[in-house]
Chain A
Amino acid sequence: MKLYKNNESIQDKDIMFAVASNTISITILFLPRYITEHTVSSDGWIAILFGGLIALLLGWILAKIAVSFPNEPFLSFASYLVSKPVAVILCFIFVFQYIIISSFQMREMATLSQEYFFDRTPLEVVCLAFILVVIYAVSGSKMAIFKLNILFFPFVVGGLTLLIIAPMWAIKLENLLPVFQTDFKGLQSGTISSLNAFLGFGIVLFYISLIKKPEKAAKMTVLGILFPFTFYIIIFIICVGVFGNATVKNLYYPVFELSKIISIPGIFFERFDSILFIIWTIIVFTTCLMAFDIAVMLINQLIPKLAKQSIIFILSPIIFFLAMLPKNFIQINNIAKYMAYLEIVYIVFVIFLLGTMLLIRGRRTHDSL
């Protein structure tokens, strides 16, 4: 349907939904644990606040860089800014990163499902079924991916709102006090840990090129980050308020444990967490889908001759295999931590590199195209 390109074009508001649903990923399930490891009592919200503010700044700069080259794919404008070979290397690292993200998300979801629901179903089956659905979605159009974010958004918002409201009654004030006890070093490490949960905004670097008129894209990126930002702070406070700092530190999925203490009288399901598991699957799905899609998109830019379907065909076994690689919780946890640090360092590096080069070389003028 080439006839209806205008119909299909992605609007800048779509980016807001994409950033929000890509940022909210499985990471949020253990985010409070990461942060309480470095902070005292409920002070972690300050770390999230700093992390979020840094993320807003980074996201805004990143979007601004992408907006400077409207309708131009990443490889193309990166080559202009930092020469072709460097751009290709950057691209490859991004491909690697998004493959890891996508398989890590899938594995965490499978672990969660095995831990709480399907202890008899093997991990392989859970992951295989999941990746088949992801492949089905990646094979569709780009517009459909953005549409899915919007279609699922009400479910995500609804589920998360329930998750926030329902355990309110269980908050104990003594768990939250005293405040402002964490030293600077703790806050620093906490901020870095929380920044990891915001890294979903990285997608704007690749997706803004799909928007026809990306003027407002930077603003929309900021709005998109603001949604998980607010949500993270609230959920952190509730989590610490309900369980207390020491317990959160030792729970593998503190946020999921939160949903287990909820009981609503008169509801058909005995266990509320099973309803939330639907939401978690959807959250993981959108994140995994977009990571997969960006990996496919970048490979397509690197090797234009390779058809999209064959890239998907090559990548999906790799993602599946990588997801099966870690043997236990400890390994996944360690990988997640290292990955998080690498991702943060890399995205800051890329923003710094591209941003500086953009300031030096300026936007592409028409004759240099």
Chain B
Amino acid sequence: MVQSSNEKYNNPLYLDGQLDENITVIKKILGNSSDLIIRKSRIGRLNHPFALIYIKGLINEDLLNKNILRVLELNRKHIHSNLFDHVYEEIIAIAEINRSKEMKQVIKTLLAGDTVFLLEGVSEAALIGTSGMEYRALEEPQSESVIRGSRVGFIENFKINLSLIRQEIKDPNLRVDMMEVGTHSNQKIAICYIDGVVREDLLQEVLRRVKTIDIDFAPDSGFIEQWIEDNLLSPFPQILDTERPDRVAFNILKGKIAIIVEGSPFALLMPITFGDSLKSIEDYNQRWLISSLLRLLRLFSFYMTIFLPALYVALISYHPELIPAQLLFTITAAREGIPFPSLIEALILVFFYEVLQEAGTRLPYKISQTIGIVGGIVIGQLAVMAGIVTPIMVIVISLTAICAFTIPNYSFAIGLRIVRLATIFAAAILGLYGIILVFIMIYVHLANLKSIGVPYTQSFSPGNLWTLENIVVRAPITVLSKRSFQPFLKSNKKKKDGGSVK
């Protein structure tokens, strides 16, 4: 934006010696915006004019008044050395301070919420780190709650988010590479990894992809995810999003790369494999037996949520002989008087469920409870009583929905809806055979899928079969840590190639 206005208005690239000239240019570039505050004053005793420029609301005004404006105006010293250097080094009582001669840099700093200090007769500006916007307090993550584990989630504040990761990993090898995206928003994004643990080729690939991002504004890290992911058509996310700093820390210690986007409470983790989406950080916090059982339960739920409604449709419409006789009688009795074939019945309920879920997500919390009552109890029960759907179908669809909720990653779970729908149609067309074919297709797709060039099913290759102990089950921590990487030890050369991606 600055670049284009430079061309448009032919603005100077560098600061001028004249204070007023500089102010006019800055005003012109920012279009004399009303929240642009220009405070002109004079340094005490010397009577030398200076100006402080900032954007209202973005900065901590208290800090500005006390540590800059006041000390400058109340100056009682005679200064014999270079005045600008003296102010820069000694008077301004703020730790984060930079200097620049470039107009572009000045404007950028201004927009980022810092204060620009200009002095008459000096073609240089001091850029003072006063940014201090209001932010949300640290809260428990909404999308990934745990019973046992840290209660802190990321917030919209970039600096806080980064410090949360630093707090978890006090390792000198933790690297944070800053980049900017958004031609209009100029958002910072941080690429975090542990030097020596991360695979260099993966890091370069991530950096290369991030550099190609060409958007105006990223409201959330989801924009970044969709820009750098491998396969646009896949229902499975190839990049993991998480609200939990402990999960990010845990994963980057395993050699993954995290991306944090300014203004987004969701960090991105890459590359991931199939198992990562089915893991919850709590698995590691609870003891291994129960965690393993829960992992198996989740894996089972994953299959249930995809195949259960389809299986029911297939059995009812094509293979009633496969259902045990007593159950078949019950189902047939229930289906008596139902006007729709089982496919339509399933579709009605799936549609109904999706609508309820969507309505519940978008509405304010208090109304969404009403939706639950109206939708779940009233319509659900009445639809059965009115003879539109069978109670067994309601059970099947509810069970499917509940199974989907056991998947810890929301993005992964919602992708499965598409697969579920496809399976229902396949079952309606070819019965059990159709389900088998869809099952094979899902596997073919997963085998072809990649996350940042790493196969999505990496853990299922013969060299890495040991990683399954951490996917299908969760082996005891003492066993896991033997193979997992120790950050400060240099012995990571022993590790197998690709083994760091767990």
Contact = CB atoms under 8 A, between A and B. Distances in A.
A binds B: yes
Given A7-B453, A7-B454, A129-B430, A151 B437 contact: no
A251 B295 CA distance: 43
B432 A277 contact: yes
B434 to A, nearest CB: 7
A293 to B, nearest CB: 12
Contact of B319 (A117, A137, A144, A145): A117
A113 B436 CA distance: 12
Contact of B447 (A151, A268, A278, A282): A151
B457 interface: yes
B284 interface: no
B444 A144 contact: yes
A150 B461 contact: yes
B199 to A, nearest CB: 9
A7 B455 contact: yes
A253 to B, nearest CB: 17
A147 B460 CA distance: 7
A304 interface: no
Interface centre among A16, A121, A147 (most CB of B within 10 A): A147
A266 B185 CA distance: 62
B215 to A, nearest CB: 23
Chain B contact residues: over half helix, strand or loop, or mixed?
Answer: helix
Contact of A118 (B318, B324, B498): B318
Contacts of A269: 322-323
B463 A274 contact: no
A20 to B, nearest CB: 12
Given A3-B453, A129-B434, A271 B322 contact: yes
Contact of A133 (B323, B431, B432, B441): B441
A8 B455 contact: yes
B433 A4 contact: no
A285 interface: yes
A282 B440 contact: yes
B325 interface: yes
Contacts of A117: 319, 431-433
A237 to B, nearest CB: 29
Given A118-B318, A152-B443, A147 B432 contact: no
Interface centre among B433, B450, B455 (most CB of A within 10 A): B433
A133 B434 CA distance: 11
A143 B462 CA distance: 12
B461 A113 contact: no
Contacts of A16: 462
A3 B448 CA distance: 16
Contacts of A118: 318, 430-431, 433
Interface string B405-442: 00000000000000000000000001111101101110
Interface in A31-65: none
B205 interface: yes
A282 B447 CA distance: 15
A137 B443 CA distance: 9
Contacts of A151: 443, 446-447, 457, 460
B348 to A, nearest CB: 25
Contacts of A13: 462-463
B319 A147 contact: no
A278 B433 CA distance: 8
Nearest to A17: B462
B455 A270 contact: no
B497 interface: yes
Contact of B448 (A4, A140, A281): A140
Interface string A254-287: 0000000000000011110010011001100100
A336 interface: no
B321 interface: yes
A314 to B, nearest CB: 21
A360 interface: no
Given A14-B461, A17-B462, A130-B437, A274 B432 contact: yes
Nearest to B202: A4
Interface string A113-146: 1000110010001100110010011001101110
A129 B439 CA distance: 13
Contact of B324 (A1, A11, A143, A268): A268
A314 B431 CA distance: 29
A17 B465 CA distance: 13
B319 A274 contact: yes
Chain A contact residues: over half helix, strand or loop, or mixed?
Answer: helix
B201 interface: yes
A281 B433 contact: yes
Contacts of B205: 3
B498 A7 contact: yes
A133 B462 CA distance: 25
B441 A136 contact: yes
Given A7-B453, A129-B433, A278-B436, A137 B444 contact: yes
Contacts of B455: 7-8, 143, 147
Contacts of A17: 462
Contacts of A137: 440, 444
Given A6-B497, A152-B443, A277-B432, A147 B322 contact: no
B220 to A, nearest CB: 27
A141 B447 CA distance: 9
Given A113-B433, A270-B321, A274-B322, A11 B461 contact: yes
A338 B450 CA distance: 43
A3 to B, nearest CB: 6
Nearest to B274: A151
B324 to A, nearest CB: 5
Nearest to B449: A144
Given A121-B430, A148-B444, A271-B322, A14 B462 contact: yes
B299 to A, nearest CB: 12
A4 to B, nearest CB: 4
A1 B208 CA distance: 13
Interface in B485-500: 497-498
Nearest to B230: A1
Nearest to A149: B447
Interface of B: 201, 205, 230, 318-319, 321-325, 430-434, 436-437, 439-441, 443-444, 446-448, 450, 453-455, 457, 460-463, 497-498
28 contacts: A1-B453, A3-B205, A4-B454, A7-B498, A11-B461, A13-B463, A14-B461, A121-B433, A129-B433, A133-B444, A136-B444, A140-B448, A144-B447, A147-B447, A147-B461, A148-B443, A150-B460, A150-B462, A151-B443, A151-B446, A270-B323, A270-B325, A271-B321, A274-B432, A277-B432, A277-B436, A278-B436, A278-B439
Given A1-B453, A118-B318, A148-B447, 6 more contacts: A1-B230, A117-B432, A129-B433, A140-B444, A269-B323, A277-B436
Interface of A: 1, 3-4, 6-8, 11, 13-14, 16-17, 113, 117-118, 121, 125-126, 129-130, 133, 136-137, 140-141, 143-145, 147-148, 150-152, 268-271, 274, 277-278, 281-282, 285
Which 8 A/B pairs are nearest by Cβ-Cβ distance? A13-B462, A144-B447, A140-B448, A147-B447, A4-B453, A137-B444, A144-B448, A1-B453
